[in-house]
Structure 1
């Protein structure tokens, strides 16, 4: 009603003069929206007091101030009204209206300050005070305020029990006043909060029918000259209120239909609301419907409808603003328009002016959010971050502000804060695309920042510590600290998981722990690759590819096929101008050994960059600024990288001459290009041109005297030529020239392996026993102290050497460290689990062979189970490793787990089709039967003896088959094995089978006797049970008979008593 204004009539103070004065002397004041300002409050109050205006006009003005956001003015008007009307002898209904208004005002204030404990408590105390006074005057108003209190409680903690309480309160208010409209509307609002829009529509329709009935009464009142002007103005005000209420009810019905999905019905109802009375809120909702139709069009949607819908949307928004210019929500909408139009200065000015007004928490949160978005658009990320934080302090569940806060925090480099709010958003909005994308970007950038930080720390160490001035970054780039490496991997896999949820339509796979993700990643990707993918977002694909790139660069080559597939999909769908992206694609093609396509991609990119360099050579003569020089350096570096990668692709594809030509041109144009010199040395070594090999490496040493790479490459080449002494001397020379290289893991590993190979060669040539030098162990331990992804296989070898040197504890701990590596492929898992299984088996068997206390045997069982776990894990990662099965079978045999051993043997026979496993199964089965025959429990069981007999027959049949094959020459067995088979066959046929067959009849008879005794025992138990049941039935029948007899006796006594009573009543008195 406030947008069109209303009138307040003033009646004469004297009732007598009211009948005598002419109507023209009576006055009326018109209140418009512009008049209701805090500056005019005192004048309006003085006017109301002097004219003794009724309470309803005080309340109308008070809540009009509330709708404009002037809460202090509302509070002042209500307190003055209380001071005036509380002392008067008015009706309880009128005082109930006053007290309920005061209670509702304090309740709203308490909800507004719900995060301020002191103020919230004070306002709630006042609310309860006025509720008690309302309850004593008008239950109808009491139920309305109590219902509002339950609604506010629900808005605070989202407990649906509060909604049930609100429904009951409003329902009781409806029962007390069937003609009231307000409780019907409030009940409908509660049903909207419960998402029950159909029931809400019913109550809104009831309220609409009631309002239409009252409006028709007012419109059909007969005109009478006897009506006072004051009365006619009141009727006019009531008419305006009913028209406004009817328009609002049409709006509520339209909103309910919109929520139910009936868009056309909602549009028709909002048009009726606007036709009845144009309201700003109705126009806003009409614009929302038009926006929905623009974004959710149907199949029969015509393109000609788009301009008309846009026109409807624009007109509705404009009409809403014109009708309610001073409304903070409307002003915020205008600021939204200004922001999207790009008028940031005007938008900021309007928002700052609006900030000076007294706004509710929700509107202030929206205002801070829009100010933050303006600063965000200006790239002032720190100021934007502060604004978003202010918005969240006013409204904690403001999702848009929190999402923008994540972006601003990432923009100003506060990635810790960004991750914290990302986790909160992911808990609330798990599958929202924009949240998944932003969170993935934050985690990806966090991983990259951590990588760069580690690299920068190494650079600082190089410049600060002079004793390590010769540190070579290329050798230690991947050797980051293990804890930091885990953190990087965790963030990368987190980003990868979020992007998978975004790219794949099936979201059934949940995030698991980091270790489980990495161990099962390949299988999970294979499963997801078969699902439906949504690759319509190029930015999400770029993030996904970048994650896979970093993971591959950190040693996870098993992800190369996946990365290659996504690169192909990306370039098929989108035309990317990112040259670095294309260069990385060529490198990944080389990783996947698709050298032909890698040559094509890199050749095309190389040609493009060459043409760009020629075209920009002339234009760069006039430009000499710092930015242009930096861009030129970046382009030159990329061109060099692409040329080198192209040469690598040519070399790997067999086009050595073309590759060597490019390497030569690179070293000629850029003599300090180390990688090209090293590749030339490798090609010369492959061609057996040892003189050129050494010359190229010496050139690198002159150019980069602090580089380890020429020394390591030369040592490796000498090791290939089996010149172990010269190779060892080359590494020692590197240690003397570059002191920091003494800590390099690859150099120590290479030196340790060269010393070990030298020991093997000496032992083979002289026939002396194999002795590992202590230096080898020393360098091996130094390498293990600085583990890295590229050092895995070398570290595994070192752990094996430690085990051969009988240093079991150090070896076992080394294997456990290797198992914790986050970058293990299936082959790595096979290798480390196999080796640690063999080591653990040796330790376990050594412990089982010694006398231990009884409580120590439990520990031995744990050792056996742990060893089995290692072997089983190795088998799951390498089912075709024959030696692995042999080791596992031997371990199970040694720990006397015969049944499991036979099961593994049968599996191995199916896989390898080798008679050696059949031979081993015969040995194991014979040993199992012998052990069972020494077990009293087994020999007394008929089933176990039958199983033993079948095992003996398997042994004899299989042994005969192997003996026949050996005689024919089809199977190569040693004499010892041949004799062993004959001994087993003889013993089984002559001793074990006769013993078992002779024992079986006695066991069968014993078993039959046991069965008969068991049947007799069961029959006896059954007869005893039946006897007990018969006795119980007999006792029950006796109890029933006694009860019947007692009932008959009582009936008989009652009948006799009634007869005696009737005789006494009918007998005549005796005469005296």
Structure 2
């Protein structure tokens, strides 16, 4: 309505003068957007008061001010209207319209200040006040405002119950006024909020038909010469309103069709809306449709269509601005258009001019958001962050601003703030791709930042920590490192889980669901099959690969196959020019022992980087900065070393040695190449060269522990334990901080123990365990250092291997008392002590394979189970741990628990070995139960045994088929064992159970019948007792009634006798 303006007719001041005044003297005022400014408000109000304009024009003006963002002017007009139209002479309909408008205005203000408790409460009190007044005057208007209140409640807390309430309210308004258009439109709006666009279209269409009907009536009214001019003006205004409403409804229908994906229908409807009446919102929507067609083109889309679509987009945006140039929202839309065109300076100028005006809170939020977006595009992340924060302070549920805030916070390094807002977005928008991707990137950056910070702090600590007095500081730092390591892993796994929501679909087809069921029995099909994967987003794949890379580099090598698979998929789908990415791919191929392909990938990359280095050195056309040269040189050197490493692992030792030699000549301080040369020389038994290379590293890097550790390891391999121990002690003296190196302490502990065992074997003397190593292990646990744990664990394992169980068990118990244990430490110690405890428990069984349950110490069995379960809770991906636990449960005949653990392991690892083991355990369990008279006499147990037998036959058949195909490799003994079990189950156990079942069923049926007869007899006896009791009760009641009747009869007779005595005359004598 406000795009083209509207007219307000002035009626005569009195009823009598209406007949005397000439029709030509009647006046009308025209209101346009330019007139509706706060400065003109008082003048307009004085004019309305003096001319006694009806209420509908006051409300039309008030809400026109609202559409322009002048809320103070709206409030002033409504309050003045309340003062004028609150007399007794005004009708209830007029008062209902006024009170509902005031209630709706206060409701909007309450929603605007929902984060300000005081203001929100004050506006809600006024809302409830006007709602009570509306309810007493007009239920139709009352239902409309109550429906709006429910919609605002839904927008605040997203509770769908509020939408149901809103639908109920608007439906009651429709029932009260079948000819009204507004409740139909509002009901359609609620259905849009419920994402039910089809039902919304039905109600919009009903409203459109009603508006068309009214418009045809107005257009076909006969013109009367005697009709006053005021009536003609009223009809003209009604005609304008109906045309505007009809165009708006076409716009709403177009929006519904757009949401349903019918773009052509939406475009046709919006063109009809514009043809009927050009509206700014219609042109904006037309530009949005054109933008969608530009970004979502079809296969038959021609390149010649692009310029025409761009021209249509520009024309629609310009027409929208021309129609709504004084509206703040329209100006913000123009600024958005300028931003997308790249005209940042003009966009900023207009936004800053608009900032000086008095805007409502929602438009202030949009303004701050657009200013922040401009600063974001310029690279001023800090300023953009402040703008986004201002936008959220005005409108807390502004999702776009919060998402951009996360990006800006990540850009300026404030990852803590970015994570905080990511968590909020993930709560509101759990499955939105862009939110998942941005959140995953933030968590990935947080993990990398923490990792790099810890590395840098460690380097600084090592540079400062050069005296023995500062060892406690380094020891404390190791404890802090453990906590940081857990934090890094948590963030990486959080990023992985978010990216999996993008890469994997939630609902697969029937075939994919079947493949998931089959994956429970085989490792050939992944639970998240390829049919469900969506690799259309290269950035999400790249983030996923980065997370897996860091996790693998931090020791989680079980993720290598997955990482290798994603690398292959990535390079098959996308042509990446990222050289670091290709280098990492080559490293992962080495991790997975695919050395041939690793050589091919790294060789190609090495040739490419070599040519680029030659070209950049020979051409002086472009000056490269020192940093760029350093980065390219470092990458080229890393690729050369990795290529040599792949050659070495693939057996091409000569080529690898040649590359190592060239690296050490060009870069003498490259430690890794010297170490690899030493390892190759040691393998060739060239001990002189081995020592020379290591001494070279010691000269180059005097504070490096690697040459000492490698030399000690090599001497240990040669069984020169004294020299190996002396080498580590020499390192401790040269580098004081190395006393807390985990590898050094573990190596030293193992060397000391191996030396003692070698002396005992060579001399034949009894074993004298080195007290130094044991004492070191016991006292080291009191310090919060990671290396002491691994050293003590190494000692305990070696003691157990040498059957010194008591000392080993005590060592493990000391390890468990450590307060600074990580989850990996808990996994190790519980796994090892569980294996040791299992060995001790099973040793009590002796050589007899028939287990005597009385020999088993139930307490020790329970303690062993507790250790295994604790280990599994700290390391669910350790396959060997599951195998040990399963074997222990099998040996102690806890078959049901063993099968439960096997089911879990089978679902996690998808390995046929667990299917095979489950067949063995199930067979043993059924055989054990068949020897138990109590179980064989139970029908339920026998049916369960039959199900187990069928599982054995089905699973064995599957494994035998896989073995024939060559997909599963079994030893001859395992294969024969499987066939024996299958034959025994099919020929003996299943026939025995099936032949026993009818007899058991008959016995069970007889027992059931006997039980029913017994229950029936008990019931009849109980009923007889109850009948007898009821009969006795009835006799008692009858006796009491007879006694009461007799007493009443006697009392009546006595009263009659007494009355006769009183009325009788005395005898005369």
CA distance in 2, matches of 1:234, 1:355: 39
| Deviation of 1:282 (Å) | 2.1
Taking a change above 3 Å as real, the CA distance of residues 468 and 406 of structure 1, as seen in their structure-2 partners, is: farther
Taking a change above 3 Å as real, the CA distance of residues 692 and 336 of structure 1, as seen in their structure-2 partners, is: same
Taking a change above 3 Å as real, the CA distance of residues 349 and 1068 of structure 1, as seen in their structure-2 partners, is: farther
Contact 2:749 2:791 in 1 (8 A): no
CA distance in 2, matches of 1:958, 1:215: 76
Give CA-to-partner distance per residue, 1:3-57, whole Å, 9 cap, x none.
Answer: 1112223344455555444444433322111111111112222222333333332
The unaligned stretches of length 5 or more in structure 2 are none
Contact 2:71 2:360 in 1 (8 A): no
Contact 2:664 2:674 in 1 (8 A): yes
Taking a change above 3 Å as real, the CA distance of residues 707 and 37 of structure 1, as seen in their structure-2 partners, is: same
Q: Which moved more, 1:768-777 or 1:504-513?
A: 504-513
CA distance in 2, matches of 1:570, 1:700: 39
Taking a change above 3 Å as real, the CA distance of residues 644 and 268 of structure 1, as seen in their structure-2 partners, is: closer
CA distance in 2, matches of 1:533, 1:970: 24
Contact 1:748 1:779 in 2 (8 A): no
CA distance in 1, matches of 2:35, 2:192: 35
Q: Which moved more, 1:919-928 or 1:471-480?
A: 919-928
Taking a change above 3 Å as real, the CA distance of residues 23 and 567 of structure 1, as seen in their structure-2 partners, is: same
CA distance in 1, matches of 2:74, 2:142: 20
CA distance in 2, matches of 1:999, 1:199: 62
Contact 1:515 1:822 in 2 (8 A): no
Q: Which moved more, 1:228-237 or 1:381-390?
A: 228-237
| Deviation of 1:947 (Å) | 18
Contact 2:742 2:791 in 1 (8 A): no
Taking a change above 3 Å as real, the CA distance of residues 791 and 990 of structure 1, as seen in their structure-2 partners, is: same
Contact 1:538 1:570 in 2 (8 A): yes
CA distance in 2, matches of 1:273, 1:956: 71
| Deviation of 1:426 (Å) | 2.4
Contact 2:523 2:910 in 1 (8 A): no
CA distance in 2, matches of 1:729, 1:686: 22
Pick aligned residue for 1:1007 from 1004, 1014, 1023: 1004
State yes or no: 1:171 paired with 2:168.
Answer: no
| Deviation of 1:68 (Å) | 0.9
Normalised by the size of structure 1, how large is the TM-score?
0.77
Structure 2 match to 1:877: 874
* Partner secondary structure for residue 531 of structure 1: helix
CA distance in 2, matches of 1:706, 1:988: 67
CA distance in 2, matches of 1:710, 1:399: 55
| Deviation of 1:638 (Å) | 2.3
CA distance in 1, matches of 2:270, 2:126: 39
CA distance in 1, matches of 2:1041, 2:918: 79
CA distance in 1, matches of 2:115, 2:181: 34
Give CA-to-partner distance per residue, 1:990-1025, whole Å, 9 cap, x none.
Answer: 999999999999999999999999999799769969
| Deviation of 1:382 (Å) | 1.8
Q: Which has the higher contact order (CA 8 A, sep 6+)?
A: 2
Contact 2:698 2:704 in 1 (8 A): yes
Structure 2 match to 1:28: 28
* Partner secondary structure for residue 466 of structure 1: coil
Taking a change above 3 Å as real, the CA distance of residues 798 and 33 of structure 1, as seen in their structure-2 partners, is: same
| Deviation of 1:69 (Å) | 1.0
Taking a change above 3 Å as real, the CA distance of residues 1062 and 170 of structure 1, as seen in their structure-2 partners, is: farther
* Partner secondary structure for residue 672 of structure 1: coil
Contact 1:187 1:203 in 2 (8 A): yes
CA distance in 2, matches of 1:1009, 1:667: 91
Give CA-to-partner distance per residue, 1:96-126, whole Å, 9 cap, x none.
Answer: 3333332332222222222222222222333
Contact 1:368 1:388 in 2 (8 A): yes
Taking a change above 3 Å as real, the CA distance of residues 117 and 1070 of structure 1, as seen in their structure-2 partners, is: farther
* Partner secondary structure for residue 478 of structure 2: coil
Q: Which moved more, 1:850-859 or 1:447-456?
A: 850-859
Contact 2:749 2:794 in 1 (8 A): no
Task: Report the RMSD for the aligned CA atoms in angstroms.
Answer: 10.3
| Deviation of 1:882 (Å) | 16
Pairs aligned (count) = 1068
Structure 2 match to 1:196: 196
Q: Which moved more, 1:232-241 or 1:909-918?
A: 909-918
Structure 2 match to 1:159: 159
Taking a change above 3 Å as real, the CA distance of residues 464 and 876 of structure 1, as seen in their structure-2 partners, is: closer
* Partner secondary structure for residue 9 of structure 1: strand
Structure 1 match to 2:314: 314
Taking a change above 3 Å as real, the CA distance of residues 479 and 298 of structure 1, as seen in their structure-2 partners, is: same
| Deviation of 1:231 (Å) | 3.2
CA distance in 2, matches of 1:984, 1:247: 79
CA distance in 2, matches of 1:22, 1:134: 40
| Deviation of 1:849 (Å) | 15
| Deviation of 1:767 (Å) | 0.7
Structure 2 match to 1:771: 768
Structure 1 match to 2:525: 525
Taking a change above 3 Å as real, the CA distance of residues 377 and 134 of structure 1, as seen in their structure-2 partners, is: same
Contact 2:697 2:707 in 1 (8 A): yes
| Deviation of 1:691 (Å) | 2.1
CA distance in 2, matches of 1:984, 1:736: 63
Q: Which moved more, 1:231-240 or 1:1048-1057?
A: 1048-1057
Structure 2 match to 1:670: 667
Structure 1 match to 2:993: 996
Contact 2:150 2:163 in 1 (8 A): yes
| Deviation of 1:773 (Å) | 0.7
Taking a change above 3 Å as real, the CA distance of residues 825 and 298 of structure 1, as seen in their structure-2 partners, is: farther
Contact 1:586 1:601 in 2 (8 A): yes
Contact 2:70 2:360 in 1 (8 A): no
Contact 1:505 1:531 in 2 (8 A): no
| Deviation of 1:768 (Å) | 0.8
* Partner secondary structure for residue 7 of structure 1: strand
Contact 1:590 1:598 in 2 (8 A): yes
Taking a change above 3 Å as real, the CA distance of residues 472 and 273 of structure 1, as seen in their structure-2 partners, is: same
Taking a change above 3 Å as real, the CA distance of residues 883 and 232 of structure 1, as seen in their structure-2 partners, is: closer
Give CA-to-partner distance per residue, 1:792-820, whole Å, 9 cap, x none.
Answer: 98664322246589998995587589999
| Deviation of 1:414 (Å) | 1.6
| Deviation of 1:432 (Å) | 2.3
Give CA-to-partner distance per residue, 1:903-939, whole Å, 9 cap, x none.
Answer: 9999999999999999999999999999999999999
CA distance in 2, matches of 1:141, 1:348: 43
CA distance in 2, matches of 1:352, 1:863: 77
| Deviation of 1:227 (Å) | 2.9
* Partner secondary structure for residue 706 of structure 1: coil
State yes or no: 1:1043 paired with 2:1040.
Answer: yes
Contact 2:520 2:906 in 1 (8 A): no
Taking a change above 3 Å as real, the CA distance of residues 944 and 38 of structure 1, as seen in their structure-2 partners, is: closer
| Deviation of 1:336 (Å) | 1.4
Matches of residues 682-693 of structure 1 in structure 2 within 5 Å? 682-693=679-690
Give CA-to-partner distance per residue, 1:953-1010, whole Å, 9 cap, x none.
Answer: 9999999999999999999999999999999999999999999999999999999999
| Deviation of 1:608 (Å) | 2.6
Structure 2 match to 1:632: 629
Q: Which moved more, 1:440-449 or 1:506-515?
A: 506-515
Taking a change above 3 Å as real, the CA distance of residues 94 and 343 of structure 1, as seen in their structure-2 partners, is: same
* Partner secondary structure for residue 325 of structure 2: coil
* Partner secondary structure for residue 469 of structure 1: helix
| Deviation of 1:457 (Å) | 1.5
* Partner secondary structure for residue 669 of structure 2: coil
Q: Which moved more, 1:808-817 or 1:31-40?
A: 808-817
| Deviation of 1:1054 (Å) | 30
